[in-house]
Structure 1
Amino acid sequence: MPTTLPALPRWLRPANRLVRLLTRLGLRLGTVHVLTVPGRRSGAPRPTPVSPLTVDGRRYVIAGLPEGDWARNVRAAGRGELAHGRRRQAVTLTEVTDADERERAMRAFPREVPHGVPMFVRLGLVTGPDPDEFAAAAQRVAAFRITAS
């Protein structure tokens, strides 16, 4: 596992703030939800935009940076709140350790969350929206199964 994270685009932090604001105002932004989990050290709420996807009746979120802050917070807390517009739902988040299940979720990602493909390209995980490329990258990401609490 690399010790340094790839450089994220400069626009990402302001864009995430805007998404959080628009969600608080009750606007739905396509597949984008705001996942809020307690910080692993502070316990303070840490919101981040995510795009859940559904595969075989199960919901998932994928962390392209498995050691990124939000993924580490999810691992530590195991729970959170998922907001989409004004709708909020308490959820349990379980990391997917089964390679086949993680691969199925990743294979579905470009179809379910096409606007998320460019970020995976930027991270160097794939070169385009090919489901086979996403499946091949499954061991390099973190996937979390979402269940209602």
Structure 2
Amino acid sequence: MSRRHSLSRKHKVRNHVVILLHRLGLPVGPMQLLTVPGRTSGLPRTNPVAPVVVDGTHYILQAYPGADWVKNARAAGHGVLTRGRHARQVDLVELPVAERGRVLREFPGQVPRGVDAFLRNGLVESASPEDFEAAAARCPVFRAEPRRS
């Protein structure tokens, strides 16, 4: 398992600004908010994410090893994706390692500003789709499916 990487103060402030703007109905770039219940408290926990869309399906990738949202998503198996004022309930299905590569390859092309987080955290060596694909064992990927009742 990868060691945990903490967000810098700058990134924590940026996340709070992105969350605030979304709650005001002003989405930022490709960002969406993922809200999942905390695995211990059950309280909603919200994090900005940049989903990748492959064949019409949204996928959420982890750029920060040991991120709490990943642990919460695994425990809950569902959450809410919000873009501006539009929210949708989703089931979060973690992909097996063998299926992650094709989604990870799409990330640098769809979310070029997000590549730096993967580089900074040592998950990839370059912004090439091949390096992202090779990081499949180190990067959890969740498929966001419409929530089943």
TM-score (norm 2): 0.93
Alignment partner of 1:43 is 2:42? yes
Give the ranges of 4+ consecutive aligned residues of structure 1 lying more than 2 Å apart after TM superposition: 6-10, 64-67
SS at match of 1:139: coil
Aligned to 1:108: 106
Question: For residues 50 and 38 of structure 1, what CA distance do their matches in structure 2 show?
Answer: 16
Q: What are the within-5 Å matches in structure 2 for residues 7-26 of structure 1?
A: 7-26=6-25
Contact residue 35 and residue 45 of structure 2 kept, 8 A: yes
Alpha-carbon deviation of 1:127? 2.8
Aligned to 1:28: 27
Aligned to 1:124: 122
SS at match of 1:141: coil
Question: For residues 16 and 45 of structure 1, what CA distance do their matches in structure 2 show?
Answer: 16
* Unmatched tracts of structure 1, length 5 or more: none
Alpha-carbon deviation of 1:98? 4.7
Question: For residues 48 and 7 of structure 1, what CA distance do their matches in structure 2 show?
Answer: 14
SS at match of 2:29: coil
Identity of aligned residues (%): 46
Contact residue 27 and residue 85 of structure 1 kept, 8 A: yes
* Unmatched tracts of structure 2, length 5 or more: none
Question: For residues 124 and 97 of structure 2, what CA distance do their matches in structure 1 show?
Answer: 21
Contact residue 5 and residue 67 of structure 2 kept, 8 A: no
Contact residue 60 and residue 146 of structure 1 kept, 8 A: yes
Question: For residues 23 and 58 of structure 2, what CA distance do their matches in structure 1 show?
Answer: 22
Deviations 1:96-139 (A, max 9, x none): 0151x200010111011111100001001123310000001111
Q: 1:86 to 1:7 in 2, by over 3 A?
A: closer
RMSD, matched Cα: 1.3
Aligned to 1:144: 142
Q: What are the within-5 Å matches in structure 2 for residues 52-131 of structure 1?
A: 52-99=51-98, 101-131=99-129
**Aligned length, in residue pairs:** 147
- The amino acid of 1:90's aligned partner reads Q
Question: For residues 7 and 57 of structure 1, what CA distance do their matches in structure 2 show?
Answer: 32
- The amino acid of 2:42's aligned partner reads G
